[in-house]
Structures are given as C-alpha cells and as structure tokens.
Amino acid sequence: PHLGLAMLALGLVALGCRAVPLQPKALVTFPGELSSPLSEEQLAEHYLERYGYISKKARSGKQVSLSKALLQMQKQLGLNETGQLDQSTLEAMKTPRCGVPDVGNFQTFEGDLKWDHNDITYRVLNHSPDLDADVIDDAFVRAFKVWSDVSPLTFTQIYSGEADIMILFGSDDHGDPYPFDGKDGLLAHAYPPGEGVQGDAHFDDDEFWTLGTGVVVKTRFGYSLFLVAAHEFGHAIGLEHSAVRDALMYPMYSYIEDFQLHQDDVAGVQYLYGSGTGPDPSVPVDPTSDACKVKAFDAITEIQGQLHFFKDGQYWKASSARPGAIKGPVQITDTWPALPAVIDSAFEDLVTKKIFFFSGRRFWVYTGTTVLGPRGLEKMGIGKDVEKI
C-alpha cells in the first residue's frame, strides 16, 4: 500500500499536479480575496476604508458610522441609498474596479490637479507578458486619443528620461504606498498631475490583460487594457471618479464593445482644459461700471487686507486704509486665471495665506500664483446634498 501511495505521489509530481486540502467557503468573496474568515460587515469596512468612505479611526466608532459611510458610497456609485449593507451594495463591492479612492486623499492635494501645459509626455517603463509590446503601446496610444480628441491636450511618447506620465506594470508592492491585491479586485491606479509620482499610471501585472475582444467579456478571464488605460489616464490629467454609471470615469470596470466617451467625461476634461477649438471666451469688462450701482454681488471677502467684491466675472477691491477708494473693475481671470466667471464664496486663510474660491460644487486654492484645483466639495468631506458654499 505504501508503494502504491508513493507511486501516486510521483505520478502527481510528474504531471505537475499537487494535492491541496479543501478550503472552507468564505462568507463573501471580495475582489482579490479568494477566501476570508471575515464577516460581510468586516469585509465591507475594509472596502469602505480602502476607497475613502471611512477612516481607521472611524472604524473604532470615533467618527462616522458604518451606516453613514454606506450611504455615502451608495450615493457616489449611483446605488439605492439605504445606508444598509444590502445585496446590491455587496455586489458593487465585489466588482473589479480602479484602485483610486472615490473620496479622500490619494496624494492629490499635494499635486497640481491639472497640468500647466497641454503637450503631455508619457513613457512606458515595462510591458505585461500578456500582450506584445507594440500591441500594448498601441492600446495606450488609443487610450490617450480618447482625451486628446475632445481637448487641446496632446500626448507624446518618450523613451528615456522623466515623462509627465510614467506607466508601469507591477504586482503587490510595486514602489508606491498603494500595493495591488493580486488577481481581480484592484486593476490599476493613477495619480493626478504634478511632480514625482504625480501623474503616473500603474497597472496590476497579476491581471490578464487583453485587447478588449473575446475572453475579455468574461471578466474573470481578462480585462481590456484599452478601457482601463483610458480610465487611468483620465486620473492622470486630473479627473476624479464620476457617479454616472455609463461614464468612463465611473470607478467600476465594465466591458464596452463599441466604446464612445460619455458626455460627462467630455464635460470633465473640457472643464479643466477647454474644448481645444480655440481660447475660451473672456468676460468683457466695462471700465465705466460702478460698483456702487451693483445691487447684489456674487461674493464679498477680505483678501490681503482689502475687501474684494465679485460679480459676473469681474471684481472690485476697497482698501481699509483709504475709505471710499474703490479700484476696478478687474477681470477675475487677470488675477486668478483658473477661476470661472461666477464665484459663490471665497476666503483667505490668515495663517497659510492660501485663498479658497468656491463655485457650485467645485473649489480652487491659490497660493500666490500657484493654483490647486478645481476639486469637488467631497474632497472636504461635504456631502452631495450641498449644491454650493
């Protein structure tokens, strides 16, 4: 009998097989986690923490409740807003997706949040073994073209030195603070514009990457490199996740055979960079307009010791040292080029000297002539029920 068992073992080795014990079925299987002893609620807490809806401190009960975090996630992903860990919410959590958090900081606020130039360079540091290198390069060219077709941006590949967007394939810990999680789950992530790692795009090399036809339809077999790259490059030029399910910037992966960029994505990139059809029209300033005749201003705030009055793309300022002396009007974009015509509110941080401007659900932060933004109010932890500040 022992000889028979030995021969069986040798046969298994010869066939390249190995016997493994049966694994207990997990209570719920999340992306990248084949088995887990954790309950659905514990796995949900890990998911909510990973994507910015809840912090480690919150998990100890010191901040936002799990129910509130679930409600925020459901709002962000366009799910039925129950605040409960229901079946549709669990299914959403199981869906392969982008690794960039939906809420909170992904080394974003330190970046420039949009490029200050339109001729963007990129460099491919390595390639996945799943596809030929020239096929991967072509997929990246097509993914960048998604954005260059609707904006003034251009993308040029370089083969040495530091590019604006450095692209790499990596597994697990791959050189940044955000490790991948193995097959499925986190597919890729990218950073917003800026220096260093900012602007870079990373793809999980444990995934099976395809051209976007055939087996890619069954996501357990592979993922469209073109679609995932187009999404990540959206982050690399400054776009956040969208709550519109059909938008490219929606965080969850889905395969689309005949891809067309959604209007929500178009509006996002053109909000940052314009349409590419010429300079944005400026608001004409009437030098004879009198601030004293304006019945209601869009916003009034004190900046550098002077009161500023904003209205319809222009502003006036009054010095406290010279009562009654009003300068203006001045076009807003002459002083703060990134700002829109309508300013809902503004304030200056007296400690840091940063100036915060708010318009609708967007805000900008100026430090001298350097601007961060626009970003959504959710970056400040403000819910989507607030339309403006």
Please report, in range form, the residues annotated as the binding site for Ca(2+): 130, 164, 181-182, 186, 200, 204-205, 207, 298, 300, 344, 346
**187: exposed, middle or buried (Cβ count in 10 Å: 0-12, 13-18, 19+):** buried
CA distance 72 to 64: 11
Residue 33 a catalytic site member: no
Q: How many CA atoms lie within 13 A of 247 on its CB side?
A: 22
CA distance 340 to 342: 6
CA distances, 368 to each of 51, 98, 184, 238, 353 (Å): 32, 34, 44, 21, 8
Phi/psi of residue 307, each to 5°? -75, 130
Looking at 33, 49, 195, 232, which residue is catalytic?
232
In what order do the strands lie in the sheet containing 370-376? 345-348, 355-359, 362-367, 370-376
Residue ranges of the annotated binding site are 98, 130, 164, 174, 176, 181-182, 186, 189, 200, 202, 204-205, 207, 231, 235, 241, 249, 298, 300, 344, 346
Residue ranges of the annotated binding site for Zn(2+) are 98, 174, 176, 189, 202, 231, 235, 241, 249
Residue 16 contacts by C-beta under 8 Å, 6 or more apart in sequence? Answer: none
CA distance 97 to 184: 8
Q: Locate 234 and state its tokens.
A: 């959206």
For the chain, what's the residue count?
389
CA distance 211 to 294: 59
C-beta of residue 140 within 8 angstroms of C-beta of residue 156? no
Residues marked as catalytic: 232
